[in-house]
Homo-oligomer: A and B are copies of this chain.
Amino acid sequence: MRAIQKSPRVIAREQTRPPGSLPGKAPKVTPKFSALAEDEPDAGLGLALGPLPGYLGYPLRRAQIAVFEDFMLAAGSVGLRPGQFSTLVVIGANPGSKQTDVASALGIQGTNFVAMINQLEERGLVERRVFDRRTYALHLTDDGRKLMEAGVALQEAQEASYEEILGPGGRQILLGLLARLTAGLDARKAGRR
């Protein structure tokens, strides 16, 4: 509780609070006067999320987190994070590419991509070869290719399990809708520019 530790910051916050609202005794009886949970499944434990589940951003975010966690549980055994895995896949599909191109294909800022390649190179998975005097050509090492292929195998299994969850064809429909949404939003953004 905040009032306990009395750090300066805490004290400052307390001082700005109307005195009437910080009595030691609280009305424990207070019935969640909201109880607006009339339209929520809610299951007693969780709170009502209001309109959030109907706003695409929220379920998208939750699904993305869930899938990433799932990936980490499965592919964590090969020691790859999602971003690293996709980097290996793209380099594997385009050997000799420049850092700039790989980064932009993945939607990663070039400036942040440097650290990623550094890590992968230090782990002996990726090689920087000279392309011209200002450019590197990226290649997978043998270890990198092995790890990438192991990740692909794991990922294929994951996709099969997603198909189980989503029913026959559901996964394909989801992929199509996601691609359409991303393309539409990217186009809108490009139009604004």
Contact = CB atoms under 8 A, between A and B. Distances in A.
A80 to B, nearest CB: 12
Interface residues of A, number: 105
Interface in A29-80: 30, 32-39, 41-42, 46-71, 73
Contacts of A92: 50
A interface, by DSSP: helix, strand, loop or mixed?
Answer: helix
Nearest to A65: B107
A128 to B, nearest CB: 7
Top 3 nearest A-B pairs by Cβ distance? A34-B96, A165-B184, A50-B93
Interface of A: 1-2, 4, 13, 17, 21-24, 26-28, 30, 32-39, 41-42, 46-71, 73, 82, 86, 89-90, 92-97, 101-102, 104-105, 107, 118, 121-122, 127-137, 139, 152, 155, 158-159, 161-162, 165-166, 170-171, 173-175, 177-182, 184-186, 188-189, 192
